[in-house]
Structure 1
Amino acid sequence: MARTPKARALGAALRQAREEKHLVLREVAAAISRDIGVLSRWETGDRTPKPEQVAQILTKLDIDGDRYDEIMTLAYGTNESQWVATTLPEQRQQMAAYVDWEQKASRIVEIAPLLIPGLLQTSEYIQAIMTAAGVPSGEIASRVTSRIGRREVINRKNPADLLVLLGRAALNQDIGGKVATIEQLQHLLEMAARPNVELRVVPEHCGWHPGLEGEFVLIESSRATAMQNAVMAKRTPASKSSIVFVGTRRSVLMLHEDGDVDAYKRAIDKIQKVSLRPDASVNVIAELHNRMEKYRGTPIHLA
C-alpha cells in the first residue's frame, strides 16, 4: 500500500476533480477501462496510478490548463516517504493536503514556540501577520476567512482534541498592536476553557527542550482504509494514522514513516515535561491579559 502523504493528496485531487464533474466512480472507470476497485484505491491513496494514467483520467474529465498541471505535479514521486514541495503548484497542493489532514483529525498537537498557532488565532492577529508579511491587500480578507474556517475541526460536533504547547515568548510578540494582543489573549482563555482544548505554556529559562528547535504539528486521524471498508462486515476497527508537518519558509515537510513520527512524539513528551500545567498556563495568560487591560492606553513591557 502506498498511502504516503503525496499519494493521499493525489487521490484527493482526483476525487475532487471527478466529483466536480458530477460523475461516480463507475462512470470514470468505464471511460478509462479500469476496474472500479482500482480507481477507488487510487482516490484513497492506498495505491498510486502511473503519471500516464493520471493524465488519462484528467483528459476524460476535461481538466486542462493550470489545474491539469497542478494535479500532474502530484503524479511523480508519490512513493517517497518525505514530501517537500518546491514549486508553487505543488505548494498549493501540499497546503490542500495539510487542510485535509487537519479537518479529518481526531487529535492535533501543535508546538508553537514563537507564534500563536493558526487554529487559535483571532482574525486581527491573522490580518496583522499577513499585512506585515507583504500579502497583497486584495487577498488578505479571503485568506483570513479561510484560516478562520479551519477552526471547524475544534468547534464542530465531535471535535478533534487539540493540545497546544505554547512558548511563553509567543505571548510577548505584540502582533497587531495592544488592542489586538488583548483580544488574542482573551481568545486563548476562552479556547482553553473548552473540554477538547488543552493549552500549556512552556516557560522561558527552563533549559533545552525540542520546542526550541522550531514549530511542528502532529496530526492523528482514525479512519478506515479502503480495504477495511471492504471487510466492514467483520467489524474491523479503523486504523490510526499519524503525520508530522514541519514548517519551513517556503514549504512544509510532511513526515509519515513510523520512525519519524515516533521521534516527534518523543519530542512532544519532553516538551510537556517542562511545560506548565493547564491551570497554571491559564493563570499566566490571564495575568498578562489583565495587566494589559489595566494599562490599555499606556505603553507597557509585556515580559
Structure 2
Amino acid sequence: MARTPKAQALGAALRQAREDKELLLRELAAMIKRDIGVVSRWETGDRTPKPEQVAQILTKLEVDGERYDEIMTLAYGTNESQWVAITLPEQRQQMAALVDWEQRATRIVEVAPLVVPGLLQTSGYIRGIMTAAGVPEGEIALRVTSRLGRADAITKRKPAELLVLVGQAALNQDVGGRATMVEQLDHLLDMAARPNIELRIVPDHRGWHPGLEGSFILIDASRPASGRRAAAKSASIVFVGTRRSELMLHEEQDVAAYRRALDRVLAVSLAPEPSANLISQVRRRMEKK
C-alpha cells in the first residue's frame, strides 16, 4: 500500500475534484469503468493510480488548466519515501497537504530559531514578512487570510496540542515595525496561556543544538484506516522548508531522527513560565524604544 503523504495528497485532490462535480464515488467508478473499491483506495491514498489513470479521471471530471497541471504533478513519484516539492504547482499541493495534516493533528511541534512559528503569527507580522519578501500587494491579503486560517488547528473546539520552541532571536527581529512586533509578542503571551499550547524560548548562548540547523514541524495525526469498520490509526510526518524547495518526511527512521533532535532542543530551552517572562521583558523593552 502507498499511504505516503504524496499519495494521500493526490487522493484528496481527486476526491475534491469529484465532489466539486457533485458525483458519487460509484458514479465516477462507472464513468471510468473501474471497480468502486479501487477508486475508493485511490482517494484514500492506500493505492496509487498510474499517471494515465489520473489524467483519465481529470478529463472525465472536466478538470483543466492550472488545476489539471497541479494535480498531475502529484501523479509522479508518489511512492517515494521523501516528497520534495520544487516547482510552484507542487509546492501549492504540498502546502495543502500540510494544512490537512495540521487540521487532523493530535500534536504539533514546531522548532523555529529565527521567526515566530506560522500557527502563532499575527496578520501584521505575516504582512510584514510578505511585504519584505516582495510578494505582490494583490496577493498579500489572500495569503494572510490563508495563513491565519491554519490557526484553527489549535483554536477549534477540540484543538491539537502545540509545542513551539522559539529562538530568542525571533523575539528581537523587527518584522513589520515596532508596533507590529509588540502586537506579535502580546499574541504569543495570549496563546501561551491556552491549556493546549506550550511555548518555550531557546535562549542565546546555549551552544550548538539541532535547532540551529533550521526550522522544522513534526506532526502526529490520526487518520482513518482502510475500511468502514477499521479503527483509527496514527501517523507522523516532518515538514522541512528551505529557500527553494519543501520536504516532507514520513519514514519511521526519518521521523525518529527529528524526535531525537527535538529532545536536544528541549534540553536547552526555558520552561514555559520563564519563557513567558522573557517575552514580557523583550516586549517592554521594545515598547520603550
Give the shorter-chain TM-score range: over 0.9
- Tell me how far apart the structure 2 counterparts of residues 243 and 113 of structure 1 sit (CA, whole Å): 20
Aligned-residue offset at 1:215: 0.3
* 1:195-214 aligned within 5 A: 195-214=195-214
Aligned partner of 2:269 among 245, 268, 275: 275
Structure 2 equivalent of residue 75 of structure 1: 75
TM-score (norm: length of structure 2): 0.98
* 1:94-173 aligned within 5 A: 94-173=94-173
- Tell me how far apart the structure 2 counterparts of residues 63 and 142 of structure 1 sit (CA, whole Å): 23
Q: Which amino acid aligns with 2:216?
A: F
Q: Which amino acid aligns with 1:278?
A: P
- Contact kept in structure 2, 1:201 and 1:275, CA below 8 Å: yes
Structure 2 residue 6 is matched with structure 1 residue 9: no
- Contact kept in structure 2, 1:125 and 1:184, CA below 8 Å: yes
Structure 1 equivalent of residue 34 of structure 2: 34
- Tell me how far apart the structure 1 counterparts of residues 49 and 238 of structure 2 sit (CA, whole Å): 25
Aligned-residue offset at 1:87: 1.7
Aligned partner of 1:255 among 249, 252, 265: 249
Aligned-residue offset at 1:4: 0.8
Structure 1 residue runs of 4 or more that deviate by more than 4 Å after TM superposition: none
Q: Which amino acid aligns with 1:206?
A: R
Q: After the TM superposition, which of the residue ranges 97-106 and 15-24 deviates more from structure 2? A: 97-106
Structure 1 equivalent of residue 182 of structure 2: 182
- Contact kept in structure 1, 2:108 and 2:163, CA below 8 Å: yes
- Tell me how far apart the structure 2 counterparts of residues 16 and 287 of structure 1 sit (CA, whole Å): 47
Aligned-residue offset at 1:145: 0.9
Aligned-residue offset at 1:68: 1.3
Structure 2 equivalent of residue 288 of structure 1: 282
Q: Secondary structure at the match of 2:165?
A: strand
Q: Which amino acid aligns with 1:249?
A: R
Aligned-residue offset at 1:290: 2.3
- Tell me how far apart the structure 2 counterparts of residues 180 and 11 of structure 1 sit (CA, whole Å): 40
- Tell me how far apart the structure 2 counterparts of residues 211 and 86 of structure 1 sit (CA, whole Å): 23
Aligned-residue offset at 1:251: 2.1
- Contact kept in structure 1, 2:210 and 2:265, CA below 8 Å: yes
Aligned-residue offset at 1:105: 1.1
Structure 2 equivalent of residue 301 of structure 1: none
- Tell me how far apart the structure 2 counterparts of residues 86 and 189 of structure 1 sit (CA, whole Å): 35
Q: Which amino acid aligns with 2:223?
A: R
Q: Secondary structure at the match of 1:194?
A: coil
- Tell me how far apart the structure 2 counterparts of residues 262 and 127 of structure 1 sit (CA, whole Å): 35
Aligned-residue offset at 1:184: 0.5
Aligned partner of 1:264 among 258, 264, 274: 258
- Contact kept in structure 2, 1:3 and 1:46, CA below 8 Å: yes
Aligned-residue offset at 1:74: 0.8
The alignment covers a number of residue pairs equal to 289
Aligned-residue offset at 1:100: 1.3
- Contact kept in structure 2, 1:44 and 1:225, CA below 8 Å: no
Q: Secondary structure at the match of 1:226?
A: coil
Q: Secondary structure at the match of 1:135?
A: coil
Identity %: 71
- Contact kept in structure 2, 1:113 and 1:211, CA below 8 Å: yes
Q: Secondary structure at the match of 1:106?
A: strand
Q: C-alpha deviations, 1:215-272, integer Å up to 9, x for none?
A: 0000110122223x3x34xxx3x21100000101122100000000000001101110
Aligned-residue offset at 1:291: 2.7
Q: C-alpha deviations, 1:183-203, integer Å up to 9, x for none?
A: 110000000000000000001
- Contact kept in structure 2, 1:40 and 1:226, CA below 8 Å: no
What's the Cα RMSD here? 1.0
Q: C-alpha deviations, 1:153-210, integer Å up to 9, x for none?
A: 1110000111000001110111111111111100000000000000000011111110
Runs of at least 5 residues in structure 1 that lack an aligned partner in the other structure: 299-303
Q: C-alpha deviations, 1:30-78, integer Å up to 9, x for none?
A: 1111111111111111110111111111111111122111111111110
- Contact kept in structure 2, 1:125 and 1:176, CA below 8 Å: yes
- Tell me how far apart the structure 1 counterparts of residues 58 and 176 of structure 2 sit (CA, whole Å): 44
Q: Secondary structure at the match of 2:240?
A: strand
- Contact kept in structure 2, 1:246 and 1:252, CA below 8 Å: yes
